[in-house]
Amino acid sequence: MKPLTQDGLRLDFQDSQLSAAHAVGADLRLILSAAHVYGPAGCFTQAPEETEGYLAPVALLFRQARWQGELALAMGRLAEGELRVDGQGLRSLPLPFAPAGPVRARLAVSNGVVLEIEAHTLECPLTGDEKFTPSLAC
């Protein structure tokens, strides 16, 4: 059974957990070990009453990318993030997400690392293997 229906699902950068950032040829791959997501009631198949939680893992693949910021230190909770597509600023993304055309992103990690990324395209697919957790609170 798939963990979500994807209808109306959105990724919110703030409070997502970045676990890895690495170059793959000319591309930049970011892995969110806990992507802060929200959607309408019934969006999460395993917890239909929930409208918010965390999905893992979620990959963001910036194709033909240039970036500034220390990739090796880019780990931890995202304090803030914004993506610019066609001049429009987005603080959350519909999932899956693959806009046509260039993107710019600014992601600030709570440890002080800031990644500034320019790319020809961005791919943020969902494989169906992601796990949903309503809360990360202990």
**Residue 61 belongs to a domain:** yes
**Residue 5 belongs to a domain:** no
**Residue 75 belongs to a domain:** yes
**Residue 138 belongs to a domain:** no
**Residue 120 belongs to a domain:** yes
The predicted structure's pLDDT at residue 3: 45
**Residue 1 belongs to a domain:** no
In the DSSP assignment, the letter for residue 97 is B
Domain interval for residue 59 = 10-127
Q: Is the pLDDT of residue 138 over 60?
A: no
Mean pLDDT of all residues belonging to the chain: 90
Domain count, the chain: 1
Task: State the Cα–Cα distance between residues 116 and 103, nearest whole angstrom.
Answer: 11
pTM of the model: 0.89
Calculate mean pLDDT across residues 11-20. 95
**C-alpha distance across the termini of the chain, in Å:** 26
**Residue 3 belongs to a domain:** no
**Residue 123 belongs to a domain:** yes
